Structure 1
Amino acid sequence: MTDTTVDRAQDRATAHLRPAAHFTARDTWLNDPNGLVLHDGTWHLFFQNNPHGATHGNMSWGHATSDDLVSWTEQPVAIRHTATEEIFSGSAVVDEKNTAGFAGPGQTALVAVYTSAYRPAHPTLAGRQAQSLAYSLDDGRTWTRYAGNPVLDRGSADFRDPKVFWYDGEDGEGHWVMVAVEATDRQVVMYRSADLKHWEHLSTFGPAHATGGVWECPDLFPLPVRGTRRTRWVMIVSLNPGGVAGGSGAQYFVGDFDGTTFTPERPGDGPHGADWLDHGRDYYAPVSFNGVSDGRRLTVGWASNWDYANETPTSPWRSTMSLARELTLVRTSDGRDRVAQRPVLPEEAREGLSVHELRLPADGRRRHEIVLHGDGPDEVVLTVDAAARTLVSDRRRSGDTAFHPAFPSVDTAPLHDVGETVDVTVVVDGCVLEVYACGGLTTLTQVVFPTAPLTQVAVRETTAG
């Protein structure tokens, strides 16, 4: 039997695990989303990709496009690794003012700002991580590396994951801002530039809150507080390990940014004071789209966990993205501004998915178990305990759980501002389960590998104890 025959047989055996609305690469590995940008009505999702296999390695930027953030078309690899350079995470911008000078008359350049991870074969920069540019003049179809790379080099082995955005500021002209990490120092470093090529250091943030692993994939953006005229700034920082459910995770800070310094409203609370974008095991490296002019803040994350990502039982593809999520801030009853999230999932895009929208009575004497199951013996049990203010996910009987000892898990998320009822939205799409509760103040993402699709739901009551 040839390798191709084996791959096709494996693909058929796990076909029910491939999601419909969560992007997966056709037959290769993916991890962190990169370069999320909207340009001329097309959503561009770049991503960490191994073009040669289904495990992490040979990092390059893969590419997918969509008209609706739900149906994705994989494009050719955008920026490919070389013998001396891997292409780590970063961001993309629409250089409308042609600040970098890459565009000619009548053209608009898309500019990717990415981390060059220099391999041992590089003659001068081996072992370093520095920030580089590539640009596209044909709407993201082909990319050219900037001849002056790298554009920002701190002489560090762990300086990576630049997120770049345009900041209007108060000078009337505006400039680019970059947030990146010194990963092992648990710090976010901030820079400014007029042309994307020359960068000036602004400030450094961290360590703060959860620091149990390296910091990665930062993002910084303004976000309005729902129902008010106030706007705050939110900083997202992923870390691995040290996530709230173990392994990878994504925390966020709410505060203020004056163009130079980010100041969180709750400094120094330690890991137990961290706010988490998601309390499941499988939500990492979320970043937001650039180029969205209608006021929405939209993010995509990687739906996996570094504890076992290389071993999840799908083939020949491995790993998936989350749904796109719209973020807002909500003032909760404890006087805090917290991030609320909702999936971008219009009714016409739900074919092939199982979406369950429930409203459960918040009776302190009873718990409610939401049992997700299919035609086989596998199930995931979500327990809503209004008295304890918790949502618990138990995936220990969800199908194939033996591929890694860290995978079978019971994970707990807090419920905020519980009223007379608890609203819960559950999205099951192939191997991905996303749960949103309490108006999106609570989210929990898990991957599962059942023998048959989990298309059915049952709700049962138990006595709270």
Structure 2
Amino acid sequence: MPSRELTVTDRYLNMPVKAGAPRCRMCIKIDGEVVRAFHVELAGDGIDFWTFIDVSAWQGQSAVITLEADPVSPDEDQEGAIHDDALDALELSEEIKDAAEIYQEALRPQFHFTTRRGWHNDPNGMVFYEGEYHLFYQHQPFSVSSFTDKSWGHAVSRDLLHWEERPIALYADQEGQKWSGSGVVDWRNVSGLQQGEEPPLLLFYTGTGRSVHNPKPDDFVQSIAYSNDRGRTWETYAGNPIIPNITPGNRDPLVQWHEPTQRWVMALFVGQPESWLKDGNQVATQFFTSVDLKEWRYESTVDEFFDCPALLSLPLDGDASDLCWVMYRADMKYKLGRFDGRVFTPETDFLIGQRGECAYAPQVFNNAPDNRRIQIAWGRTKAPGMSFSQIMNFPCDLSMITTEEGPRMRWTPVKEIENLYQSSTSCRDEVLTADADPIELARGQHFDLQTVIAVGVAHEVEITVCGVSLICDVTGKQLTSEGHSAPLSLRDGKLHLRLLLDRISLEIFAEDGLVYMSLAVIPDAENDLITIRAIGGAATVETFECHELKSIWPKS
């Protein structure tokens, strides 16, 4: 087993990575104790990118680094692939190696959050405190693959646009991987975890039992981490777990305050007999309540809700005295109903929240200002050849409005996006002659496009953005793009459409946000045309605005 001893003289330990290289188990020991253990696809020949780990906590100390074949799912050829000199390529430095290349990559989204290096998925622990939006996320910082050992990455923003990536908040350790969960502000210090003048921030997460650090059998439990310095550093609660294992795989605690009952409420995915999405298991969510955030009492179960269940109330048509309760699961299917602080009683069948492929496990910021319900979902995209993988979809304000079918959820990109507007193109009352050549409306590669089209007697209206086609089937009242479709009402004979296009995603908002479709696409980088045409009859572009968006990332 290769090993290397070095003195920690700088903040970062940089590691060369090759996507698809054999998975290795790397351990960092200080005074004989394993302080970090993780999987990495360590490059031999042909480096794809450099990743890093912050080792400043052990400044001046001697570290022993070891490397061995993956103990979780060993590969027949993997043992021989680890060379004795494999650790020689590791480098200590005060700066992240190749830092100037971060955010400058060809497929790096320009106005969606992405992590600096590695893989991320579910948003976690979303909470607002003292002017800062805290976004945590499932993170594998040492690979662009989604294999084991998820930690909690952490980023902070003051405007929901520009994000500063912070050190990893929660690493996989003896408690296992740190799977998804939520965050709250303990305003009254009911947990007793406050130290100092400010209330503590609490994170609730699932500890999986098994990790590279601790390869024992899985025993999923629910636990707490807390911060007394506005989220800069985190400690795990000495009394963990707060909820022991119920069924194998139970996970994703979502905690929030319920004002009418003066209780904290937790929604937790607990399937029977196991909490895995496979035949023979019944998926369900259990509700628990607490007065101190540490002791929890079971209250009820609601069936059919799995991964990352969420519960929230939304004022109907903006009326704060008329709240609608909505519960949704990771695929964004939701039910409307009643919630009394203990039991959610559905009053509808499942309604479809998103029609695409690129939005999963959404979460809403706790404690957001002005009672806003701001949602971010994991954007399941592809970025081949890049040093990062996956995105966060653009933040949206959630609302509930009355429709002919009853109350329905609506998604609206947060108004802060207007601060990214730079060059703009607009037109009004542009007549589209039937079956004529497409009309060029604008050019751009990452933009916010808003239009209202009177479909007239057209059979179809086609909009093409950077080579990606969207077709409105007027007769069938359907909107289709990239193999995904959504129903339209075309009220008053008009298509209301908004598009957010970035380098690896397209988010579509139709019917003023009642229809939300998020797609994983890679637009043609050589084609910046935005065109429109009418097929089978004439139509009219009543209004059109396209705002090219500034990059949220610092320039190198």
Partners of 1:159 and 1:13 lie apart in 2 by 36
Q: What residue is the counterpart of 1:190 in the other structure?
A: 287
In structure 2, do the counterparts of structure 1 residues 329 and 82 end up closer, same or farther at CA, with 3 Å as the change threshold?
Answer: same
The structural deviation recorded for 1:87 is: 0.1
From 346, 356, 369, the counterpart of 2:449: 356
Overall identity of the aligned pairs, in % = 32
Note if 1:296 corresponds to 2:372.
yes
AA partner of residue 431 (structure 1): I
Instruction: Assess if the C-alpha contact under 8 Å between 2:411 and 2:516 holds in 1.
Output: yes
Partners of 1:451 and 1:364 lie apart in 2 by 31
From 443, 446, 461, the counterpart of 1:368: 461
The structural deviation recorded for 1:301 is: 0.1
In structure 2, do the counterparts of structure 1 residues 462 and 156 end up closer, same or farther at CA, with 3 Å as the change threshold?
Answer: same
Partners of 1:157 and 1:179 lie apart in 2 by 17
3-state SS, counterpart of residue 337 of structure 2: strand
Note if 1:280 corresponds to 2:370.
no
Q: What residue is the counterpart of 2:54 in the other structure?
A: none
Moved more, 316-325 or 113-122: 113-122
The structural deviation recorded for 1:103 is: 0.5
- Runs of 5+ unmatched residues, structure 2: 1-42, 51-97, 277-281, 423-444, 538-556
Partners of 2:529 and 2:215 lie apart in 1 by 58
The structural deviation recorded for 1:196 is: 1.1
In structure 2, do the counterparts of structure 1 residues 227 and 108 end up closer, same or farther at CA, with 3 Å as the change threshold?
Answer: closer
Q: What residue is the counterpart of 1:104 in the other structure?
A: 195
In structure 2, do the counterparts of structure 1 residues 102 and 437 end up closer, same or farther at CA, with 3 Å as the change threshold?
Answer: same
In structure 2, do the counterparts of structure 1 residues 324 and 121 end up closer, same or farther at CA, with 3 Å as the change threshold?
Answer: closer
Partners of 1:42 and 1:167 lie apart in 2 by 23
Partners of 1:368 and 1:328 lie apart in 2 by 28
In structure 2, do the counterparts of structure 1 residues 107 and 230 end up closer, same or farther at CA, with 3 Å as the change threshold?
Answer: closer
Residue-by-residue CA offset, 1:420-460 (whole Å, 9 max, x unaligned): 31110111122121111111000111121245166431111
Q: What residue is the counterpart of 1:320 in the other structure?
A: 391
3-state SS, counterpart of residue 52 of structure 1: coil
AA partner of residue 86 (structure 1): Q
Partners of 2:47 and 2:211 lie apart in 1 by 36
TM-score normalized by the length of structure 1 = 0.83
In structure 2, do the counterparts of structure 1 residues 301 and 124 end up closer, same or farther at CA, with 3 Å as the change threshold?
Answer: closer
Instruction: Assess if the C-alpha contact under 8 Å between 2:183 and 2:201 holds in 1.
Output: yes
Partners of 1:81 and 1:164 lie apart in 2 by 21
Q: What residue is the counterpart of 1:25 in the other structure?
A: 115
Partners of 1:194 and 1:55 lie apart in 2 by 40
Q: What residue is the counterpart of 2:519 in the other structure?
A: 446
From 337, 342, 364, the counterpart of 2:407: 337
Matches within 5 A, 1:165-204: 165-170=256-261, 174-182=262-270, 183-184=275-276, 185-204=282-301
From 460, 464, 488, the counterpart of 1:415: 488
Note if 1:381 corresponds to 2:469.
yes
Instruction: Assess if the C-alpha contact under 8 Å between 1:116 and 1:130 holds in 2.
Output: yes
Residue-by-residue CA offset, 1:53-109 (whole Å, 9 max, x unaligned): 111121000000111111111111000112551000000101011011110241320
From 250, 257, 260, the counterpart of 2:342: 260
3-state SS, counterpart of residue 34 of structure 1: strand
Q: What residue is the counterpart of 1:236 in the other structure?
A: 328
How many pairs does the alignment contain? Answer: 412
Higher alpha-carbon Rg:
2
3-state SS, counterpart of residue 265 of structure 2: strand
Instruction: Assess if the C-alpha contact under 8 Å between 1:364 and 1:387 holds in 2.
Output: no
Partners of 1:67 and 1:105 lie apart in 2 by 24
The structural deviation recorded for 1:387 is: 3.0
Note if 1:456 corresponds to 2:529.
yes
Q: What residue is the counterpart of 1:42 in the other structure?
A: 132
Q: What residue is the counterpart of 2:225 in the other structure?
A: 134
3-state SS, counterpart of residue 229 of structure 2: coil
Instruction: Assess if the C-alpha contact under 8 Å between 2:268 and 2:287 holds in 1.
Output: yes
Instruction: Assess if the C-alpha contact under 8 Å between 1:313 and 1:449 holds in 2.
Output: no
What root-mean-square deviation, in Å, do the aligned CA atoms of Structure 1 and Structure 2 show?
2.5
AA partner of residue 150 (structure 2): M
In structure 2, do the counterparts of structure 1 residues 388 and 63 end up closer, same or farther at CA, with 3 Å as the change threshold?
Answer: same
Higher relative contact order (CA 8 A, sep 6+): 1
Instruction: Assess if the C-alpha contact under 8 Å between 1:17 and 1:453 holds in 2.
Output: no
Partners of 2:461 and 2:185 lie apart in 1 by 47
- Runs of 5+ unmatched residues, structure 1: 209-214, 239-248, 374-378, 395-409
Q: What residue is the counterpart of 1:89 in the other structure?
A: 180
The structural deviation recorded for 1:418 is: 2.3
Instruction: Assess if the C-alpha contact under 8 Å between 2:458 and 2:534 holds in 1.
Output: no
The structural deviation recorded for 1:49 is: 0.1
Note if 1:15 corresponds to 2:88.
no
AA partner of residue 366 (structure 2): N
Instruction: Assess if the C-alpha contact under 8 Å between 2:103 and 2:116 holds in 1.
Output: no
